[in-house]
Amino acid sequence: MHPHTRGRSKGVVVRALLGNAAGCAVVEVATGEKWAMEPVAPEGLFEVFIPKRPKVFRYQLRTQTHTGELRQFSDPYAFLPTLGPQDLYLFNEGNEHRAYDKLGAHLRTLDGVPGVAFAVWAPAARQVSLVGNFNHWDGRYHPMRPLGSSGVWELFVPGLEEGQLYKYAIRDTHDHVRLKTDPYGTYFEGPPNNASIVYDTAKFKWNDAAWLEQRRAQAGRLDRPISIYEVHLGSWRRKPEDAGRPLSYREIAPLLTAYVREMGFTHVEFMPLAEHPFTGSWGYQVTGFFAPTHRYGTPEEFAWLIDQLHQAGIGVILDWVPAHFPRDSFALAEFDGTHLYEHADPRLGAHMDWGTLIFNYGRNEVRCFLAANALAWLERYHIDGLRVDAVASMLYLDYSRKEGQWIPNRHGGRENLEAIEFLKQVNGLVHHYHPGAVMIAEESTSFPGVSKPTAEGGLGFDFKWNMGWMHDTLKYFAREPIHRKWHHSDLTFGMLYQYAENFVTVFSHDEVVHGKGSMLFKMGAWHIPEKAANLRALYAHMWAYPGKKLLFMGGEFAQSHEWKHDGSLDWHLCEYPDHEGVRLLVRDLNRLYTSEPVLSANDLNPQGFRWISCQDAGAGVIAYLRSDPFENTFFVTIAHLSGATRAYRIGVPRRGLWHEVINTNSQYYGGTGAGNDGGREAEAVPYDSYEQSIAVTLPPLTTVIFKWSGS
């Protein structure tokens, strides 16, 4: 409805495009007065001029189909825009932190009329139309309105409900129309159609208030127990009686919760669960950044999974992928006919390793999209932290590029200044809006200050994966014991930089794919029992060593083959001692780690670690001390990684009984049982710069952990 003048008569004109309508009328809501509309085009275009009504008024349309069916409804174009100038200003400025509540599809009630408000950013489009199963996917029926120079197109469609499928038909400057899914969509149908689905993400009733309060109380306390179980949800466990299909969010929730609680992990980290069209990408090529994948259920069922874990006292970390996105034609790539979300120059915008596109972090609206995406996962689904994927590829303009394939920054350097500022921004926003949530970087270089606060010149992450320790340690353990003495520094070098960052010590999914072998088969031995002994020794060393912990699923019970995303873990292996023993050890290591502040509350404290012996390469022994700042509690870890049994002496800082709390050679864990009879009394024999020492038995390929029990 628009004010209109015909001849000398002032009034209003109403036009409507209606499919399958034999007739149409305008009905004033307040009075019920009705004006018949005239058909002006055979496609269903109707018009009426109403004289002597100089101002627009609330109205509805009443149609009659060719079969005589009557319907009265509100006109989408009778409503004012649902976004105001302030919303648009902040979005274009890059500071609309709740852009996920403004753009996308949202159930709204305007002037008492329920419906769905749609908004999409497409600044270079000539026209944007909303299409869906409610208008036969015909772009003529719901053209959207451009909101000034903001680049945002908007439309409220009354009468639409949750569950409607939709896309945007975007006409570019060359009159080419491309169908695009909603960048801010909250739910999607599966391939090949991949349509966005209207969904109310706020309807779930949460029961985790106690957990969230505890999380807030821990804000800023980085030195707390964090032991993470990394999970690919689709292959953790499957349903063999139903063609081996993956478990749904609801099916997996009680099983995973009970298992993680039994194993003593403090957190679950899910590999990406944002919508992705190709299962084989493991979730790292995202097309629906705001939507839990449809593969395992609805967004409400995803929330139920998180709620169950929280009620059991288990935190949830989600892999988040702001480094790149795929080239799928229905998603972000060339969204409005231009390189909107990505760089136009392939030297900046094309990812060399994965064939994907790199976000343009210098564009305000793109930064707004990504920052809002991070916040949306924490706000809508109570996620406790994000593990940011491929941070190194974001930090460096020459990442995986040869000379001539990249463009230096404005200072002539290789750092991606815009990406660095974005990472600082998003880390700051997460900590501001969600105190206690953690941000973890997968960063494989020596970029300085990744886990330092932004106020100190850092990137603002809480933690960083310790890729160097992982690489060196696995390289050492992959060698046969007889050759290890020549590579002893692989075990000790990591301590030189251990406290340069807040590290998470990791064995992630990346270590058990692409021909690298499983954790068990990485071990340098010929027979399964020896490989299992190596793995047990490695895990005990890992849990005793400073740093938070992360282990990929299957590694905890010594999965034999490499991880397969389209199959289940081999849970039947737990029937065998070599595998079940590793699982029991990991469970006990978690219990020790989480119950002893010396191990868990001093991960980041350099005063809490001291080498006792780090030079005995011939014996294949390293020994180190973990203590609290007041030196009231002590743990001594001795890793013996050669193939012979040794009688060994180790210096200790206190006299009295040193209780053997972990022996990876215990029969309980699948070993031979040889050890130290539960403990050793310190003797007044000076050794390793201490005035007293203990004489211990070191079985082959064994790590033992002693705790000082006093005099």
For residues 108 and 31, the answer to whether their CB atoms sit within 8 Å is no
- Residue 192: is the preceding peptide bond cis (ω within 30°)? yes
Nearest to 682 by CA among 705, 698, 659: 659
Our CA dihedral for 487, 491, 493, 499, rounded to 10 degrees, sits at 170
Q: In this structure, what DSSP letter does residue 683 have?
A: B
CA distances from 438 to 194, 426, 464 (A): 32, 12, 11
- State the CB neighbour count (10 A cutoff) for residue 279: 15
Phi, psi angles (nearest 5°) of residue 158 = -70, 150
Q: Decide: 503 and 553 in contact? Cβ < 8 Å.
A: no
Q: Rounded to a whole number, what is the largest CA-CA distance in the chain? A: 114
H or E element: which one contains 528?
A: helix 528-544
396, 445 contact by CB (below 8 A): yes
Which residues are paired to 359 by β-bridges? Answer: 342
The one catalytic residue among 154, 182, 336, 389: 389
CA–CA gap between residue 284 and residue 306 (Å, rounded): 20
Q: Which one of 208, 275, 319, 442 is the catalytic residue? A: 442
421 catalytic per annotation: no
Q: How far apart are CA 248 and CA 299, in angstroms?
A: 12
- What is the signed CA dihedral for 668, 669, 675, 677, rounded to 10 degrees? -30
Distance CA(292)–CA(296), nearest Å, equals 9
Residue 682, number of CB atoms within 10 A of its CB: 23
Two tokens, residue 122:
């497409």
Q: Can you give the C-alpha Rg of the chain in angstroms?
A: 31
The residue among 590, 597, 571, 574 whose CA lies nearest residue 670 is 574
Q: Is 442 a catalytic residue?
A: yes
Integer Cα distance of 146 and 159 in angstroms = 22
Half-sphere exposure of 506 (CA within 13 A, CB side): 24
According to DSSP, the β-strands at 385-388 and 315-320 are parallel
CB atoms inside a 10 Å sphere around CB 403 = 6
What phi and psi values does residue 524 have, to the nearest 5 degrees? -80, 80
Which two three-digit tokens encode residue 646?
């040794």
Cα distance between residue 672 and residue 677, in whole Å: 13
Q: Measured between alpha carbons, how far is 646 from 702 in angstroms, rounded to an integer?
A: 11
**CA–CA separation, 42 and 39 (whole Å):** 7
- Tell which residue, 551, 633, 629, 620, has the closest CA to residue 585: 551
Tally: H helices and E strands in the chain = 15, 36
So which residues are the catalytic ones? 389, 442
